[in-house]
Amino acid sequence: MADKPPAEIRPEPGFLQGSLGPLFILYYPPAPTIPPRGSILYIHPFAEEMNKSRRMAALQARRFAAAGFGVLQPDLYGCGDSGGDFAAARWALWQADLRLCVDWLLARSPTPLHVWGLRLGCLLAAELARQVQAAGLVLWHPVISGATALTQFLRLRLAAGMLDGTQETLARLRAELAAGRAVEVVGYELHPELATALEQARLLAPAAGTRVNWFELVATPEWGLASSSQQLLAQWRSAGVSVSAQTVVGEPFWSTHQISCVPALLEATSHSLD
């Protein structure tokens, strides 16, 4: 796969009609100078992690397009430049809209289809890959448990509250959600239905015929995959799933204060589909 995408790789912005409203999309058509190799659908991470990750996602999409893949990057409903507020976001709605995105993409770009997720987007990506029998699944630092991700998200509100003297607890926030009341976290209004869906979400194994490329960022070369990841991958392999997993040294760009880039992850991901 090309190390440096050619300058002519340019995304085509637009809108796709989703289940409840317009979804903003960027489509990277495959480079016209080489035979087309397939399609890739990207699923972004949760809340502010999406914004912090836009640069890395764009850089990787251009590399994929330069290698002959048509790449679609939608903003899920209630996120980014798509219709609706975050308070209107629902897990089932995102699932339905992603299937519409698959139809849109495959009408413009050939199979095989690959699904690429980042962080919480990996939960949606793995489930979608099962439904559409994707040829490949690319997972960037996947979240394994939606419940764990929800806890981490709610802790952002606790941390902000400590700065202004507000005394809250996770138990109180969960009680608010359980009572059917939305909770605002660092500017994002989390609806109880979305919170419940996150609690139940797990990273599901794709079909045995799906090739999985799993990447985790680590602070030093000596660090290996997280123990929870190793356990899950052992289960997947026992079920016949083909998995290639590796660590890449780099900052967690989805949560750094400044927008950051991890070139090593771009390189590793690009070569994984060669």
Q: Order across the sheet with 211-218: list the strands.
A: 12-17, 22-28, 69-74, 38-43, 113-118, 136-140, 211-218, 242-249
Res 7: pLDDT: 56
Per-residue model confidence as pLDDT tens digits over 149-196: 999 999 999 987 776 667 789 999 999 999 999 999 999 999 999 999
Res 166: pLDDT: 72
Res 110: pLDDT: 87
Res 181: pLDDT: 96
Mean pLDDT of the chain: 94
3-class DSSP assignment, residue 139: strand
Q: What is the percentage of the chain residues whose pLDDT exceeds 70?
A: 95
More confident site: 110 or 116: 116
- Token readout for 14 is 């637009």
d(CA 231, CA 264): 25
CB 147 within 8 A of CB 168: no
Res 2: pLDDT: 41
- Token readout for 209 is 């015929």
Per-residue model confidence as pLDDT tens digits over 210-265: 999 999 999 999 999 999 999 999 999 999 999 999 999 999 999 999 999 999 99
| Residues 12-144+204-272, CATH architecture | 3-Layer(aba) Sandwich (3.40)
Task: Work out the average pLDDT over 270-274.
Answer: 92
What 127-132 contacts at long range (C-beta under 8 Å, 24+ apart), as own/partner pairs, is 127/95, 127/204, 128/41, 128/43, 128/95, 128/98, 128/99, 128/102, 129/206, 129/207, 129/210, 130/204, 130/205, 130/206, 130/207, 130/210, 131/99, 132/99, 132/102
CB 60 within 8 A of CB 270: yes
- Token readout for 208 is 């045995």
Degrees to nearest 5, angle at CA 81 with 78 and 83: 45
Q: What is the percentage of the chain residues whose pLDDT exceeds 90?
A: 91
Per-residue model confidence as pLDDT tens digits over 118-127: 999 999 999 9
- Token readout for 85 is 């507020």
- Token readout for 25 is 């999309």
CB 213 within 8 A of CB 244: yes
Query: Tell me, what amino acid is at 268?
Result: A
Q: Which of 65, 63, 79 is nearest to 108 (CA)?
A: 65
Burial of residue 19, with CB atoms counted within 10 A of its CB: 0-12 exposed, 13-18 middle, 19 or more buried: middle
CA 115, 199, 47, 29: dihedral to nearest 10 degrees? Answer: 10
Domain range list for the chain: 12-144+204-272, 145-201
Per-residue model confidence as pLDDT tens digits over 2-59: 445 555 788 999 999 999 999 999 999 999 989 999 999 999 999 999 999 999 999 9
Q: Work out the pLDDT band at 99, boundaries 50, 70, 90.
A: very high
Handedness of CA 135, 94, 104, 118 (dihedral sign): negative
